Structure formats: C-alpha cells, structure tokens
A and B are shown apart, each in its own frame.
Chain A
C-alpha cells in the first residue's frame, strides 16, 4: 500500500467527500425515519394523489428518494474525483 502522494489534496478531497456524505445521509434520514416513521401520522392528514402522504413516504416515496440520493452521490463523486485528480484511468 502506498500513501497518497499529495497529502493536502487528499485531505481536501476527503473533507468534501465527508460533507457531501453527511448532507445526503441527513436527507436519507429525513425521508425515511422522518417522513415515513416519526411524522407519519401528521403527514397522513395530507392527501397526495390517492395516498395519505405519510403512508406514501413509508411505502414508495422513501425508496424513490434513496434512488435519487445514490444517483446524485455517484455523479457528484465522479466530479470530485476529477476535481482533485484522484480519478481512475
């Protein structure tokens, strides 16, 4: 195992990576544990198309959200790799 050649760049890359990850995980927590569990009763009072909103988040919305989060993460990380010149090939 070789240590990264440019420690400052590695540090900056890692900090940005952490920030992105924490923001995305906060959204992850909000749409599933927040909307689908903790506030499900309050949200169920709101009608969203044919669904009570809380129920929709718990059974469909959160899954669509997870997909969006990973897709965004993949796209953003590829950018980050290039920006800091840590991309492969």
Chain B
C-alpha cells in the first residue's frame, strides 16, 4: 500500500474509534456531562489529562522550537511540567473535596459572591477561546499536509468530529476518547524518536541516547552538536541567549498558568476521591513526562541530522526528505552566491515565509520570490518539520508517516474537545444555571450545555478558518491571564481563611487588567517597542503573567486585611475542604 492510502486508513480508523467511544459513553445527566459522574479511575484520568494538556503545539512544534533555540527552549519543558507539582499540592485535592463542577463554582462559593463568579466565568471563556482557535488551526494544518485537502476543509472535518463527541458524550465521552487519543499520539511520537536515537547513538531509549556518544565515535552527541553549530556561526546549543530574569519569569508564568488553566483543573473534579485526585496528578505528570523528556532528545537528534546532511551540500545531492518538504513549502533554498550549494548559518535568508515562483530555479529548486536579507544563510526551514520529517529522515516505512498524521490530529482534537467542554459548561452551568436562570431543570441545563458546545465548536471553527492575525501571539494571553487571575484566587481561597470577597475580586481584576494591558501594549499597540530595552525589568510579554500574579496576591492581601473577614460558614467551608474525608460522589444541586 502506498503512504497516502495508509494515511487515510489510519486517520479513518482512529476517527471511527473516537466516535465509537463517544456513542458508547454518551452522557445522560449533567453530572455525567460536566464531570463524568466523578467515576474516572486515576490512571485513566491521568492519561486523559495528558491528552487534554498536550496540544498540537506540544506534539508538532515544541521539539522544533527547542531544536532551533537549544537551552532557551527549556522554558517550555520546565514550564509545562512544573505546573503539575503546583496542581498536585496546592489545588487538585482541595478542589476535588469541594466537590462541585467548575472553577467559577469554587470562586463563587468560596468568595460568597456572584460578582467574583462572573469575573471568573469571563476569564474562563476568554482563555479557552484563545486556546481553542489555535487548536482548530492545527487540525486544519495537519489535514492539509497529509490528506491533500485544503486547510478550511480540514477545519470543517475536525469541527464535525469534535462536535460529535463533545456534544454527545460531554466529559464522560471526552475522557474516554482522550485516553484513546493519548495512546495514539504517544505511539506516534515515540516510534520515530526511538529509531532516530538508535540511528545516531545506538541507544534505543531517546532520553539516554541524548546523553550518549555518537555511533562509531567517542564524541558525545551534544558536544558534536555544539561543534557543528559553532562552525556555522550559531550560538552554542547548550548555552542560552535570553536574559536570566526573562527566562525565570516566563518559566514561572507557564508553570503557574498551567496550574491555573480551567480545562486542566476541571479534570481533577472527575476522580472518585481526594486520594484519587492526588494520584491522578502524579499519573498525569508521568504520562506527560514521557513526551516532554523525549522532546529535547528529539530536538537534538533532528538538529544534528540537519547540520550534518545539509550545509555545504549541493542542491543536486540533498537527501530526499529535503525535496519532499520543499514541495510542501516548509523548506526553501535561495542560492545567493550562485554556487549551487546550500549555505546555512544564523539569521533568516529572506523576509517572512517563502512565496514561490511557478518556474523552477537554475538548479531545479523551487524559486523563492521573497526579498533576500544581507545574511549569508540561504536556507529556510520551518520549525515544524523537525518532528514531521523525522520518519523520512530515519528511513522509516510509510505507516510511520501515517501514524504521525493520526497522532497530530489526536493531539489537536483532544485539546480542542477539553476546551470546548469548559466553554459549554461555563455558559450552561455558571452563566445560566448559577447566575441568570437558576430555575431551569436538569434536562434543560443539559440541553443548554449541548447547544453551547455546538455554538462554541462553530465559533472555534470560524477562528480556525479565518485566524485572527494575532492567533500565534495570543498564546501568551492564555497562560499569563490564567496565572494572573485564577491561580492566586484559588490558592489563597484554600490556604488563607482571611482572604475575602473584596480582596479576591480586586486582586483578580488588577492581575487581569495589568497582564492584559501589558501584552496588548507590546503585541498590538506598539509592536516596534517589543524588545528588552523597553520591557519592564526586561520581562517579555510572555513572562509578564508572573508579575500580574504577584500584584494579584499583594492586592488581595491588602484589601482583605482592611475589609471584614469572611463569614463563619465560609471559614467552616475552608476547614472542610482541607481534610479529605467525606468527599463522596457528585453533589446534586
């Protein structure tokens, strides 16, 4: 069978599997729809959390980014795993004991205020939409690269699948499809990584191959990589270029943001007991760590392969993967010095992403029409191919390529579904049932949740088809805002009996407004000033959520101290959530 047929077969089979699971596990009550009746085994919940968490960005882009920036890429590795320590110790067990359905539920009850709940609902919806737009785009891109349909058709097919299982199955359906998606994506990620590791170092475990010697020599892989890079004028791979303060703040914002993201938190509402919530955080991190410790190894392998097989080679002799991805427009070569060889070095060969002329160039390459830059480098490489091209680089059979396509789709779909569920829950439960129309029956609430999910899928799809120009830039929003708004409100709500309504509302608003304003200023109002000289204390917009969080904590503390302490029944509530016994099943309402 040829590769294209295999891709259709794999993608079709996984879609059929997801739909089958959704039909089998469809939700019949709000408790099933919102939190899968709190009956999810911790190991399965860990897997589902892993799939929920690891998006198209983790699966496709992260290793590529690390591959190009080396040590600086660690902010993602530490930031997107370290947050689980905070989740396990500061949030998950207590929110599970609290025992309701959503993050705004907790904020509203703990701060005895529908205003606080409303602020939380707005944050949830904003953060989740920002995030989901990128996922739908990811689905479209995977479709267009592998299934030869255009991006928009890809987005629509993706919408239809997500629509089906999130609207039908709710949290219960999503949980079990995410378990399947986790298995698909991990298998797809690990197979090429293992083969590349064996090819380069002879060690089948990528995490160990990363620190081994290159096959047939005594040089360590990383030393070789540092050497190759320095020869071509790149920075040393294992040294950073970002300032320490910026790396510190970005890592902290990503960690705290991870722990504050509503679609991750809500997964810990689904376990049967408090003990299981803790356990499930451990399993989640284990399942995530398998990918996150492989990614830096994969990044180093891919970088080594690129630097040994391309620079200085004449175009006529490049490996076949180069031409495959040139055809896809993700690799481009502009022969600046007319020697027919590919020169590669720091900087960009031309401005922006490549646009191609119809006629081929002198050596048969796709001719680039972009204006060249003064830099000597002639090679454009899209970061995503560091993962996508691996099966070909490692000479793996066609079914591995098909696996990567199915894995990329699993990663994007699972995250999109988790986010859509959070959006639909916020609207039906937090906005309608708890705020606007408290008298609706459970059946009506369930219907409202499904309608909200359907509308959210369509809106997300529209964002995917017509991506707002700023989609790539607003990822910082989701993490920064989660860090600056929810995280302090929830943690203070559990660990301080003194934090009150006024403090929490003021804190959330200050943290949110400050972070929002800083990002908007540097990303949209004055992008030309977006550099270290103009940033406060050298903190980039990606890391500013950390400062927003600090402001939130200070404001909450000061305002709480000068206003009345929370009423007695709230103090009792806090004492109650601090001990595990008596969590029981989902509380009916």
Contact = CB atoms under 8 A, between A and B. Distances in A.
B285 A67 contact: yes
A74 B211 contact: no
Contact of B580 (A1, A3, A36, A88): A88
Given A3-B575, A67-B286, A89-B273, A36 B74 contact: yes
Contact of B569 (A1, A10, A36, A86): A1
Contacts of A32: 78, 82, 251, 255
A60 B89 contact: no
A50 B239 contact: no
Interface string A56-70: 101110111011011
Contacts of A59: 66, 71, 73-74, 77, 296
A38 B244 contact: yes
Interface in A28-73: 28, 32-33, 36-38, 40-41, 44, 48-52, 55-56, 58-60, 62-64, 66-67, 69-71, 73
Among B82, B240, B292, the most chain A Cβ lie within 10 Å of the Cβ of B82
B207 A38 contact: no
Contacts of A56: 211
A67 B289 contact: yes
A7 B296 CA distance: 49
Contacts of B575: 3-4, 7, 10
A49 B293 CA distance: 16
B578 interface: yes
Contacts of A50: 210-213, 220-223
A38 B281 CA distance: 27
A25 to B, nearest CB: 7
A80 to B, nearest CB: 10
Given A1-B576, A4-B575, A74-B279, A62 B82 contact: yes
B581 A87 contact: yes
Contacts of A67: 282, 285-286, 289
B251 A37 contact: yes
Contacts of A66: 81-82, 84-85, 285, 289
Interface in B232-250: 238-240, 244, 247-248
B87 to A, nearest CB: 9
Nearest to A81: B580
A32 B292 CA distance: 15
Contact of A52 (B212, B238, B289): B238
Contacts of B220: 50
Interface residues of A, number: 48
A24 B278 CA distance: 15
A28 B279 contact: no
Nearest to B273: A88
Interface string B286-322: 1001001100100000000000000000000000000
A3 B211 contact: no
A67 B251 CA distance: 17
Among A2, A14, A69, the most chain B Cβ lie within 10 Å of the Cβ of A69
Given A13-B579, A55-B222, A74-B278, A63 B74 contact: no
Contacts of A89: 273
Given A51-B211, A74-B279, A64 B293 contact: yes
Contacts of A87: 275, 580-581
Contact of B71 (A1, A2, A48, A58): A58
A48 B223 CA distance: 12
B210 A21 contact: no
B244 A37 contact: yes
B238 A44 contact: yes
A36 B85 contact: no
Interface string A6-23: 010010011001000100
Contacts of B244: 37-38
A87 to B, nearest CB: 7
Contacts of A71: 282
A61 to B, nearest CB: 10
A25 B286 contact: no
A18 to B, nearest CB: 8
Interface of A: 1-4, 7, 10, 13-14, 17, 21, 24-25, 28, 32-33, 36-38, 40-41, 44, 48-52, 55-56, 58-60, 62-64, 66-67, 69-71, 73-74, 77-78, 81, 86-89
22 contacts: A2-B572, A25-B89, A32-B251, A36-B78, A37-B78, A38-B244, A55-B222, A58-B78, A59-B73, A59-B77, A59-B296, A60-B210, A66-B285, A67-B285, A67-B286, A70-B84, A70-B89, A70-B281, A73-B89, A73-B278, A74-B282, A88-B580
- List the 5 shortest-distance A-B pairs measured between CB atoms, nearest first: A50-B220, A50-B211, A58-B74, A59-B296, A55-B238
Interface of B: 66, 71, 73-74, 77-78, 81-82, 84-85, 88-90, 93, 207, 210-213, 220-223, 238-240, 244, 247-248, 251-252, 255, 273-275, 278-279, 281-282, 285-286, 289, 292-293, 296, 569, 572-573, 575-576, 578-583
Given A44-B239, A59-B71, 13 more contacts: A7-B575, A13-B578, A33-B248, A37-B74, A37-B251, A38-B244, A50-B213, A55-B74, A60-B296, A63-B78, A63-B293, A74-B281, A86-B580
